């Protein structure tokens, strides 16, 4: 049985994947949750879209961070059928913890471990009070990988492999169709920025192809409309007619994590 996959998000939104306690290097060696055209297999989804959670003792001293986590959760609840509920007696639940490293991380999907952690370090995971990094990790918990790993990504972005840090794993190419019929989403909260996992931080690692040169990638403000539609489809939310926020890349370019494709 494969060990659960943990996606780690450091301060610059880099996201290598960790298996157990070991950092896995390279593109092909990281175990992935079994996928179908509907997304994660059903036993990795949270039943009914309900995710029980608790805050760790460490978070009891972080009132502002707790409020930001709750705000991030509300962003899902306002536009999808996902519900984050305080845990009572549920067997499977998530623990919101600050972690030891200044990083942000989450397992992909319901691991059926009893408890599984989402690490959201208050000093690192809420830049300028934004909740996008937290929502990125909550989407991992729901069962989603990175947008730039979808099977058709090479039609939309280029990867500068010569500048990708070998210890990181942000750019594995998925072989499964998990797009839910949605177009490639440069504005996804799950998309890496241009300098993600760079060896030389002044040189890009991922950028839109020339025909998409005007696209912004790496926003960390809030869920995109496509993110929300995918969640609603994967969890079969009734009607798929819940409100979708305005695209953040069009409305708040000054708050984006990375610049436009000018490198």
Neighbours of 74 (CB within 10 A): 12
136 marked among binding-site residues: yes
Tokens of residue 204, six digits: 């890009």
The CA-atom distances, in angstroms, between 25 and each of 3, 17, 224 are 15, 9, 30
Gap between the Cα atoms of 152 and 197, Å rounded: 21
Phi-psi region of 245 (alpha: psi -120 to 50; beta: other; left: phi over 0): beta
Residue 204: which of 135, 129, 262 has the closest Cα? 262
Gap between the Cα atoms of 49 and 234, Å rounded: 10
Residue stretches of the annotated binding site for Zn(2+): 136, 140, 146
Annotation: binding site: 136, 140, 146
């Amino acid at each position: 049985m494969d060990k659960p996959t943990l996606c780690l998000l450091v301060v610059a939104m880099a996201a290598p994947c960790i298996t157990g306690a070991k950092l896995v290097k390279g593109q092909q060696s990281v175990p992935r949750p079994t996928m179908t055209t509907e997304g994660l297999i059903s036993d990795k989804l949270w039943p009914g879209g309900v995710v029980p959670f608790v805050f760790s003792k460490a978070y009891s001293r972080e009132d502002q961070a707790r409020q930001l986590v709750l705000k991030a959760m509300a962003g899902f609840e306002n536009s999808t059928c996902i519900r984050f509920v305080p845990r009572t007696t549920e067997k499977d639940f998530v623990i919101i913890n600050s972690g030891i490293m200044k990083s942000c991380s989450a397992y992909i999907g319901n691991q059926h471990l009893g408890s599984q952690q989402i690490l959201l370090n208050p000093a690192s995971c809420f830049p300028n009070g934004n909740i996008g990094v937290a929502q990125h990790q909550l989407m991992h918990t729901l069962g989603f990988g990175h947008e730039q790993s979808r099977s058709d990504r090479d039609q939309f972005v280029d990867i500068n492999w010569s500048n990708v840090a070998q210890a990181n794993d942000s750019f594995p190419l998925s072989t499964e169709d998990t797009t839910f019929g949605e177009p490639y989403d440069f504005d996804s909260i799950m998309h890496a920025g241009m300098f993600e996992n760079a060896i030389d931080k002044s040189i890009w690692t991922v950028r839109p192809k020339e025909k998409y040169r005007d696209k912004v990638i790496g926003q960390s403000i809030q869920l995109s409309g496509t993110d929300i539609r995918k969640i609603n489809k994967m969890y079969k939310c009734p009607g798929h007619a819940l409100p979708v926020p305005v695209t953040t890349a069009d409305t708040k370019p000054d708050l984006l994590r990375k610049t436009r494709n000018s490198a």
